[in-house]
A and B are shown apart, each in its own frame.
Chain A
């Protein structure tokens, strides 16, 4: 599996609803807290899939301005949803990851572990956070008692090239959900 086939998008068309449900609610990794950040789900209610104007969005309880980043594997004319990370800006200097789910075969012990999908998703959020003025850390929850704060380099002044998540107009055209 080449990592070149994986792209990231903040936008997902509605026909991926079933795939997203599978990822969020029927994931075989559900009991593994560390592949899904369930701690926050308990505190803030489970993620809810909402379709607006043909676009899938994820809402989490009453948390405002929740952002999602989807990982999609492209193969020919098909594009499969393989992961999602849900996050929001909790305070001026903190980005908080609410939820992380990857398809079983892309987990750290799955067949495609080498794609390092969970790590890439966290990396993407960290890179995006580094572009936002004032944000100095990304917080992940391990369990009820422990959270981990990942420092963001150059908070808001990062000049490194950042892989940009694809936007609505860029990718969906002919791709079919698998």
Chain B
């Protein structure tokens, strides 16, 4: 099993945007016209989602990444909570966080495979 190529920022943003739209629909909330720009706030003042909406988006993203790239990542974890600048603050920060998580998981999977091959 080789490391999975890290998807482009654009495809992650698109995935994120549809997850946000799905969450807003679930919560019967209007979809802002400018949704999807990198500076769209996801947390704090002006956030397009409330907490449950954000949880929904994160769960959707975990599932989408598992379905598309076969990578099981935990977006909501203690490390994320402890970061000074929350990765959930904006579309841009969440996209960057997704890329880091995917890259780390992909590398870990590649390394595990290498160990298996070497020991076999």
Chain A residues proximal to chain B, CB less than 8 Å: 3-4, 32, 34-35, 102, 107-109, 113-114, 116-120, 122-123, 126, 140, 142-143, 146, 148, 150-151, 153, 160, 163
Are B52 and A118 in contact (CB-based, < 8 A)? yes
Are A116 and B49 in contact (CB-based, < 8 A)? no
A109 CB to closest chain B CB, in angstroms? 6
Contacts of B45 in A (CB 8 A): 109, 113
* Cα separation A163 to B80 with both chains bound (whole Å): 13
Question: Among A116, A123, A150, which residue has its beta carbon within 8 angstroms of that of B86?
Answer: A116
Are A120 and B81 in contact (CB-based, < 8 A)? yes
A38 CB to closest chain B CB, in angstroms? 12
- For the A-B complex, the count of residue pairs with Cβ-Cβ distances under 8 Å equals 78
Interface with A: B3-11, B70-78, B104-112, which one?
B70-78
Question: Among A123, A142, A146, which residue has its beta carbon within 8 angstroms of that of B76?
Answer: A123
* Cα separation A152 to B28 with both chains bound (whole Å): 25
Contacts of A35 in B (CB 8 A): 50-52
What are the 3 A-B residue pairs with the smallest beta carbon separation, nearest first?
A: A118-B51, A113-B44, A108-B51
Interface string of B16-56 (1 = CB under 8 A from A): 00000000001110000000000000011101011111111
Question: Among A108, A118, A120, A140, which residue has its beta carbon within 8 angstroms of that of B47?
Answer: A108
Are B52 and A116 in contact (CB-based, < 8 A)? no
Are A142 and B59 in contact (CB-based, < 8 A)? no
Are B53 and A34 in contact (CB-based, < 8 A)? yes
How many chain B residues sit at the interface, stated as a range, is 20 to 34
Contacts of A122 in B (CB 8 A): 51-52, 55
Are A34 and B86 in contact (CB-based, < 8 A)? no
* Nearest B residue to A162, CB-CB: B78
Chain B residues proximal to chain A, CB less than 8 Å: 26-28, 43-45, 47, 49-56, 58-59, 63, 72, 74, 76-78, 81-82, 86, 88-89
Are A153 and B72 in contact (CB-based, < 8 A)? yes
* Cα separation A154 to B74 with both chains bound (whole Å): 12
Contacts of A151 in B (CB 8 A): 59, 63
Are A116 and B81 in contact (CB-based, < 8 A)? yes
* Cα separation A142 to B54 with both chains bound (whole Å): 13
Contacts of A107 in B (CB 8 A): 50-51
Of A34, A118, A140, which is in contact with the most chain B CB atoms at under 10 Å from its CB?
Answer: A34
Question: Among A3, A34, A108, A142, which residue has its beta carbon within 8 angstroms of that of B43?
Answer: A108
Are A108 and B81 in contact (CB-based, < 8 A)? no
Contacts of A146 in B (CB 8 A): 26
* Cα separation A44 to B48 with both chains bound (whole Å): 30
A79 CB to closest chain B CB, in angstroms? 19
Question: Among B52, B54, B81, B82, which residue has its beta carbon within 8 angstroms of that of A140?
Answer: B52
Are B43 and A114 in contact (CB-based, < 8 A)? yes
Q: Contacts A3-B81, A114-B44, A142-B27: A119 and B56 contacting too (C-beta < 8 A)?
A: no
